[in-house]
């Protein structure tokens, strides 16, 4: 990834064919109304395909005796907490296993502090590893989209403790609904640090449009098919 995050953002938007020029921050029609119409229309268009897939994944994950779905509190628009749904990809006692692993591995602790994820995560099941690689574990979040808690495109939903890591861009995060996908997730940049994630999210906030959302959703489909993760 380029060391200059502005150059990185510019290169990503260039590939998408979208201008990086920010608009006046008065809310556009798309931001006020159109984005919700886009989300609901796309959600109901995809439901007939996604519901059978979600059900089959739920049955597969249930085979190890744990719950099929997993929900964790996340912070949404305006600082409102909501339950973000996923297909479970971790062992049943994941929190205890993580605490033990981090206590014994200082390098893993540093990685966790920087990215809030681990390249070699001991909590992830064999099936879960496949679901994460293909991003199929995110499919239940279509329910969050229908409920109006999330959007198809936006910043990834974070826990309350992570909101402050947005620093000066905290307002940006709290001004949008979290998304299933976004700019940095579809740009092979899952390994970016949190500060750079915030820069990408801020760039999206200042340039969001139906054209950009459409291109990001289509690019997400390609990323998933190539199994590079979202």
114 within some domain: no
101 within some domain: no
**For position 165, what pLDDT does the model report?**
87
**For position 77, what pLDDT does the model report?**
95
Residue 182 has pLDDT above 50, yes or no: yes
103 within some domain: no
> Within 10 A of 159 (CB to CB), how many other CB atoms are there?
13
109 within some domain: no
Q: What is the pLDDT of residues 91-104, one digit of tens each?
A: 888 888 888 888 88
pTM of this structure: 0.81
**For position 147, what pLDDT does the model report?**
97
Please tell me the distance from the alpha carbon of residue 108 to that of residue 43, in angstroms, as a whole number.
Answer: 37
Which carries the bigger pLDDT value, residue 92 or residue 155? 155
47 within some domain: yes
**For position 12, what pLDDT does the model report?**
53
Task: Supply the range of the domain harboring residue 220.
Answer: 5-17+26-89+124-225
Find, among 215, 148, 195, the residue nearest to 14 by Cα: 215
Own/partner contacts of 205-209, CB < 8 Å, gap of 24 or more, are: 205/172, 205/175, 205/176, 206/22, 206/23, 206/25, 207/13, 207/18, 207/19, 207/20, 207/21, 207/22, 207/23, 208/28, 208/30, 208/31, 208/35, 208/153, 208/176, 209/18, 209/28, 209/30
> Within 10 A of 83 (CB to CB), how many other CB atoms are there?
13
Find, among 177, 173, 160, 227, the residue nearest to 200 by Cα: 173
The pair of three-digit structure tokens given for residue 180, joined into one six-digit string: 């299933």
Residue 143 has pLDDT above 90, yes or no: yes
181 within some domain: yes
**For position 105, what pLDDT does the model report?**
87
The pair of three-digit structure tokens given for residue 130, joined into one six-digit string: 């496949």
Considering the chain, what percentage of its residues have pLDDT values greater than 90? 47
Q: What DSSP string runs through 53-108?
A: HHHHHHHHHHTTSS-SEEEEEEE-GGG-EEEEEEE--B-TTHHHHHHHHHHH-HHH
**Average pLDDT of 167-186?**
91
100 within some domain: no
105 within 8 A of 123, measured Cβ to Cβ: no
Structural domain count, the chain: 1
Q: Please, which residues bridge with residue 69 across strands? A: 87
Strands 179-181 vs 151-153: parallel, antiparallel or unpaired: parallel
Q: Please, which residues bridge with residue 73 across strands? A: 83
179 within some domain: yes
């Amino acid at each position: 990834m380029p060391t200059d995050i502005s150059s990185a953002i510019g290169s990503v938007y260039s590939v998408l064919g979208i201008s990086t020029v920010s608009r006046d921050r008065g809310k556009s029609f798309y931001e006020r109304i159109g984005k919700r119409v886009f989300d609901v229309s796309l959600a109901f268009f995809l439901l007939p395909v996604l519901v059978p897939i979600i059900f089959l994944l739920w049955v597969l994950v249930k085979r190890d005796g744990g719950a099929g779905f997993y929900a964790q509190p996340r912070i949404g628009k305006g600082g409102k907490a909501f339950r973000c749904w996923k297909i479970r990809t971790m062992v049943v006692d994941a929190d205890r296993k993580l605490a033990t692993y981090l206590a014994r591995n200082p390098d893993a602790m540093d990685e966790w502090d920087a990215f809030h994820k681990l390249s070699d995560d001991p909590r992830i099941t064999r099936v879960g590893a496949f679901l994460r690689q293909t991003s199929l574990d995110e499919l239940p979040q279509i329910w969050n989209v229908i409920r109006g808690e999330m959007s198809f495109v936006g910043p990834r939903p974070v826990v309350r403790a992570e909101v402050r890591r947005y620093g000066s861009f905290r307002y940006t995060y709290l001004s949008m609904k979290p998304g299933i996908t976004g700019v940095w997730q579809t740009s092979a940049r899952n390994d970016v640090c949190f500060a750079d994630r915030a820069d990408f999210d801020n760039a999206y906030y200042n340039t969001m449009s139906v054209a950009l959302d459409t291109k990001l959703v289509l690019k997400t489909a390609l990323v998933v098919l190539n199994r590079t993760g979202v």
